[in-house]
């Protein structure tokens, strides 16, 4: 499997070409093999393929193919490839998780040990509690944990290869793709991966990506965890990061149509229940306009 991280624009353009080809009616066995190989080269390829397929469906362009005799079996194989990738994403999207939230949904959960969890938008987790252990597996997204004190049963959250064990505390864990993050609001948390460990105190945060645990650093938890109060706070945040964060709470795609906009820095507080107002604010504050192709596809262009 390739560890190279392709350029995002090139990756998505390639994925779109594969989807168009596989739904064109002229797909060949070689095309199917090449598409499958490309998807298996890198997890980012498969994710881009699935997103491209979903966007194609939302745009109304995905029609039932006209099956010709000479291509009947390739079409069946192509269909199986599309279905297989979709089924493979069941685990990735965590549809079988113990607890999950839809896009834009937050859910408050009381666990059997008395701990409380606030599961953020588009998140999922599994819970295992027994007489000796309290194990949480964050499958994706972010969750804020208020841990009930029980020194006989450690409370540990695992996110990818990262683990965060509570030492009597309130903390958030985030998992997005191959990156994880732990933010401590109260108490202490022991954070570890396969190679290193560190203890965080209140007002500290640490990130993990590509198998590397970064140095811990101070953070304004009121701003970092503002999502628990229905808000997102940005301070000199690059526009691509802002759009990626907004997209965690809003269905569809928010795309940058011109690289000149990527350098823009955003300051502001946005309400999660009024994200379209937030997008309007971006139009007013910056030299950009939003082209709305559908409610699900918005592209930022220079004004």
Please give the pLDDT value at position 23: 67
Residue 56 has pLDDT above 70, yes or no: no
| CB-based contact 174:184 (threshold 8 Å) | no
The answer to whether the 99-224 and 230-302 domains have the same CATH topology is no
Q: What value does the CA radius of gyration of the chain take, rounded to a whole number of Å?
A: 22
Please give the pLDDT value at position 65: 39
> Using one digit for the tens of pLDDT, what is the confidence trace for 205-230?
999 998 899 999 999 999 999 999 99
Q: Which residues pair with 256 in a beta bridge?
A: 300
Going by C-alpha positions, the residue among 142, 186, 210, 151 that lies closest to residue 3 is 210
Domain 230-302, second-level architecture: 3-Layer(bab) Sandwich (3.55)
> Using one digit for the tens of pLDDT, what is the confidence trace for 31-48?
777 887 887 787 778 777
Determine which of 89-93, 159-163, 276-280 has the lowest per-residue pLDDT on average.
89-93
Going by C-alpha positions, the residue among 174, 156, 152 that lies closest to residue 164 is 156
Q: What percent of the chain has pLDDT over 70?
A: 80
Please give the pLDDT value at position 35: 80
Please give the pLDDT value at position 128: 95
> Using one digit for the tens of pLDDT, what is the confidence trace for 282-296?
999 999 999 988 787
Average per-residue pLDDT in the chain?
83
| CB-based contact 124:107 (threshold 8 Å) | no
When comparing pLDDT for 11 and 76, which is higher? 11
Give the global pTM: 0.71
Domain chopping of the chain, boundaries: 8-93, 99-224, 230-302
Please give the pLDDT value at position 245: 94
Distance from C-alpha of 252 to C-alpha of 297, rounded to nearest angstrom: 6
Topology classification of domain 99-224: Jelly Rolls (2.60.120)
* pLDDT band, very low/low/confident/very high, at 16 (cuts 50, 70, 90): confident
Average pLDDT of span 106-130: 95
When comparing pLDDT for 86 and 19, which is higher? 19
Average pLDDT of span 108-130: 95
Distance from C-alpha of 171 to C-alpha of 189, rounded to nearest angstrom: 8
Helix (H) or strand (E) holding 298: strand 297-302
Q: Look up residue 142 and give its two tokens.
A: 């972010």
Please give the pLDDT value at position 36: 76
Residue 187 has pLDDT above 50, yes or no: yes
HSE (side-chain half, CA atoms, 13 Å) at 102: 2
| CB-based contact 51:18 (threshold 8 Å) | no
Please give the pLDDT value at position 48: 77
Please give the pLDDT value at position 95: 64
Please give the pLDDT value at position 15: 81
Residue 202 has pLDDT above 50, yes or no: yes
Determine which of 81-95, 161-175, 262-276 has the lowest per-residue pLDDT on average.
81-95
> Using one digit for the tens of pLDDT, what is the confidence trace for 75-87?
555 555 555 554 4
Residue 3 has pLDDT above 50, yes or no: no
């Amino acid at each position: 499997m390739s560890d190279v991280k392709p350029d995002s624009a090139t990756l998505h353009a390639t994925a779109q070409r594969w989807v168009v080809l596989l739904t064109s009616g002229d797909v060949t066995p070689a095309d199917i093999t090449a598409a499958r190989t490309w998807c298996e080269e890198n997890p980012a390829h498969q994710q881009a393929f699935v997103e491209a397929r979903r966007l194609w469906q939302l745009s109304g362009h995905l029609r039932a193919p006209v099956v010709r005799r000479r291509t009947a079996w390739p079409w069946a194989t192509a269909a199986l490839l599309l279905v297989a990738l979709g089924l493979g994403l069941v685990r990735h999207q965590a549809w079988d998780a113990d607890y999950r939230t839809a896009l834009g949904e937050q859910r408050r959960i009381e666990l059997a040990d008395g701990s409380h969890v606030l599961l953020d938008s588009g998140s999922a987790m599994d819970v295992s509690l027994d007489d000796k252990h309290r194990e949480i597996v964050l499958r994706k997204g972010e969750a804020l944990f208020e841990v009930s004190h029980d020194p006989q049963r450690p409370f540990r959250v695992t996110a990818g290869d990262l683990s965060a064990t509570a030492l009597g505390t309130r903390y958030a864990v985030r998992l997005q793709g191959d990156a994880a993050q732990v933010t401590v609001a109260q108490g202490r948390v022991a954070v570890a991966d396969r190679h290193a460990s560190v203890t965080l105190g209140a007002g500290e945060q640490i990130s993990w990506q590509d198998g590397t645990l970064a140095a811990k650093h101070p953070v304004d938890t009121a701003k970092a965890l503002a999502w628990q109060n229905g808000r997102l706070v940005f301070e000199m945040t690059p526009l691509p990061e802002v759009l990626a964060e907004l997209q965690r709470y809003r269905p569809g795609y928010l795309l940058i149509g011109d690289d000149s906009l990527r350098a823009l820095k955003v300051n502001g507080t946005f309400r999660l229940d009024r994200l379209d107002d937030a997008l309007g604010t971006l139009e007013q504050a910056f030299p950009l306009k939003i082209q709305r192709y559908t409610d699900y596809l918005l592209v930022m262009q220079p004004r």
